[in-house]
Structure 1
Amino acid sequence: MSDRPVFVIGCPRSGTTMLQLMLHSHPRMAVPPETRFLVPAYYRRRKWGDLRVTHRRRALAEWIATDRTTKFRELKIDKDEFVRQCVAGPGSLGSVIGTAFRMYADRFDKSRWGDKRPSYVKQVDMLLRLFPDAQFIHLIRDGRDCVSSLKEMPWYTLDSFHAISTWAEAIDAGARLRRTLPEDTYYELRYEDLTDDPSTELKKICHFLEEEFSPAMVSPREAASVAVPQHKVWHSNTHGEVIRTRVGSWANRLEDWEIALCEHMLGDRLESMGYELTGAPKPSREHITTCQKTMQKRRASRMRKHVRDRFNRLREPSPVAAMLTSRQRSLAGVPQQRPELVV
């Protein structure tokens, strides 16, 4: 049976929390609420030093377990035991991070863990460095619905131009992943298809994950009580049945100029994903120019970060890849543990 990590990715407000709960409802998979330590730990990896050294692993584990920004508390695992297992475990960044998720799966007596964060769609290269055997499920939703939903979120402080750019970036990243990753590593589906026929789509996902389909995945209400924090009121709909009432609701939630701009800037991408356009009139030159400039600035920012990361890869103090699963250990050239020796 597979023990590969699974990451749920996509544009924010595309239904990734619903999919997280569906996967968490599987008897072999645990997918926790969103945390905030994986990405910062990776980009600060030089700070932690050589993680093959015991006290360095302890320092990283204690930061993950105690810093207020990491949301480690959402996992509800014992922080002292987490630190102990990290200190006793393999000396790599991915191994320390992966230990937190593995312990979360242990809470539910499950064999596999996953993680859900929409922005991971643009960070798959980083995730594969940490977890080289990872699998990715990209959930895609009509960009106009994503834009309209983002605008209504209390945590989203940017404008419609940024929301449009966010969806375009997710779709473009998915296209690259589709071209470059093996079929057993990357899988994508549409939110509209998942909500229209959950059983069929979940069976396809289970086939991709090499897991048996579980009917419990179709109605994941119970999982919401443990995998979605109550303070996230914008996910309140995940506590009910899977519904389609929000599909296409952008028509009543976006202003006319926003619909026109979405279809002008995203039209080719929308149609390539099977979404029909309304034939809205061309948006104003001012709106087009502002959106183009927003996209260019965001692209330049990503490139600068990418260049910095490439430079930092030349000066990494210790291994990055996790050595926890059977495939990770094989890729790292680490002897497989005999079952009777696994603690």
Structure 2
Amino acid sequence: MQSDRPIFVVGCPRSGTTMLQLMLHSHPRIAVPPETRFLVPAYFSRKSYGDMRQAENRRRLAEWIANGRNTKFRELGLDKAEFVQTAMMGPGSFGSVIGTVFKSYAERFGKSRWGDKRPSYFKHVDMLMRMFPDAQFIHLIRDGRDCVASLKEMPWYTLDSFHAVSNWAEAIDFGTRNARRLPADTFFQLRYEDLTADPESELRKLCAFIGEDYDPAMCEPRHVARVAVPAHKVWHRNTHGEVTTARSGSWAARLEPWEIALCEEVLGDRLVSCRYELSGAPKAERQHLSAYKAAAGKRRAARWRKRNRDLLVRLREPGPLPALLTDGQRTRAGLPVQRPRELVNG
């Protein structure tokens, strides 16, 4: 039986997750859209939408997704009214409304399986598992020094190098914990450098993990970049070319000496554990270490505040969360597997 489990691509920003998104989207059975911005905000605002067993509440949530200024729904090429109607007629759970967006996107391409890519999801694996209990996660790892160098150059990145260094440390730490606690068929890690050096071998391993046959088109992601990468995202221009190792190790010319020293001092153990060699840079200066610790502390405190607010909402969950769209999701809920195109009125 072919799998219909959702696939989530995660990792530190600028780790190559867009390239991996396109590789997956190149598969004949899988559709992974451009990044959206509704899933996490919707989850943390779920109390305001109420019980999703009520069709009117499903309509309100679906309309916010379809019409919200920052949800990026318009980049999916879906009909708003049709999506809202489908969500209203679909299963009565929060995850089902969210999942209907991605399911509809997959159907646009005649595909039966969907995925989603957003680097910061590495912090929200637990949340995603609550909504999609049969989900699979692919964590892409890239040399932290290259990630920091690339983040610095992004027009949308408004934070400093200290936050960038902390971001990579967070991604690695979350990945380590997720790999330890999640089943082997749920969480998979691979390195950007290995993927670009030998795409076929790495993608064959990846396909074995997600339960799909390898397809050679996955090694040529540039062919779908025009469809799956919005034109305004000029920072993804490299995805329109061949898969290349040219950017690996470019941090040596893109980072300041003090940034290299900071990366290797505070990320050294993590870099080595991920099989990256250190350059032997001198010790970081005290003020840089202090600034890094301050940035890491701010990020940690923000995560805890959000986590604690969410725990309060969980005490009185406004309605069922798990999606009821895939065979695995329905089986877990004790429901029969759906026939194709069958809808369930909540």
**Shared topology, TM-score over 0.5?**
yes
Q: Could you tell which deviates more after superposition, 290-299 or 40-49?
A: 290-299
1:334 deviates by 1.8
Matches within 5 A, 1:192-341: 192-339=193-340, 341=342
Give, as a single letter, the amino acid of the residue that structure 2 aligns with 1:269.
R
Residues 257-287 of structure 1: CA deviation (Å, up to 9, x unaligned): 0000000000000000000001111011111
Give, as a single letter, the amino acid of the residue that structure 1 aligns with 2:55.
T
Query: Identity of counterpart residues, as a percentage?
Result: 68
TM-score, L = length of structure 2: 0.98
User: How many residue pairs align between the two structures?
Assistant: 343
Residues 75-104 of structure 1: CA deviation (Å, up to 9, x unaligned): 111111111111111111100010010000
Structure 2 CA distance for aligned equivalents of residues 54 and 8 of structure 1: 31
1:342 deviates by 6.3
- Could you tell me which residue of structure 1 aligns to residue 73 of structure 2? 72
- Could you tell me which residue of structure 1 aligns to residue 125 of structure 2? 124
1:333 deviates by 1.7
- Could you tell me which residue of structure 2 aligns to residue 149 of structure 1? 150
SS in structure 2 opposite 1:114?
Answer: strand
Structure 2 CA distance for aligned equivalents of residues 94 and 112 of structure 1: 16
1:303 deviates by 1.1
SS in structure 2 opposite 1:34?
Answer: coil
Residues 178-230 of structure 1: CA deviation (Å, up to 9, x unaligned): 10000000000000000000000000000001100000000111110111000
Give, as a single letter, the amino acid of the residue that structure 1 aligns with 2:167.
T
Structure 2 CA distance for aligned equivalents of residues 154 and 242 of structure 1: 23
Residues 27-78 of structure 1: CA deviation (Å, up to 9, x unaligned): 0000000011111110000000111011111111111111111110111111
Structure 2 CA distance for aligned equivalents of residues 10 and 43 of structure 1: 21
Matches within 5 A, 1:25-44: 25-44=26-45
CA distance 1:247–1:314, shift in 2 (3 Å): same
Give, as a single letter, the amino acid of the residue that structure 2 aligns with 1:169.
E
1:339 deviates by 4.8
Structure 2, unpaired ranges of 5+:
none
**Segments ≥4 residues shifted beyond 3 Å:** 338-343
CA distance 1:340–1:263, shift in 2 (3 Å): closer
Structure 1 CA distance for aligned equivalents of residues 324 and 245 of structure 2: 41
1:292 deviates by 1.1
- Could you tell me which residue of structure 2 aligns to residue 23 of structure 1? 24
- Could you tell me which residue of structure 1 aligns to residue 138 of structure 2? 137
1:301 deviates by 1.3
CA distance 1:342–1:307, shift in 2 (3 Å): closer
1:293 deviates by 1.6
Structure 1 CA distance for aligned equivalents of residues 124 and 318 of structure 2: 21
TM-score, L = length of structure 1: 0.98
2:139 and 2:190 in contact (8 A); partners too: yes
- Could you tell me which residue of structure 2 aligns to residue 161 of structure 1? 162
Structure 2 CA distance for aligned equivalents of residues 337 and 248 of structure 1: 48
SS in structure 1 opposite 2:287?
Answer: helix
- Could you tell me which residue of structure 2 aligns to residue 81 of structure 1? 82
SS in structure 2 opposite 1:211?
Answer: coil
1:341 deviates by 4.9
SS in structure 2 opposite 1:8?
Answer: strand
Cα RMSD, aligned residues only: 1.1
Structure 2 CA distance for aligned equivalents of residues 298 and 341 of structure 1: 44
- Could you tell me which residue of structure 1 aligns to residue 58 of structure 2? 57
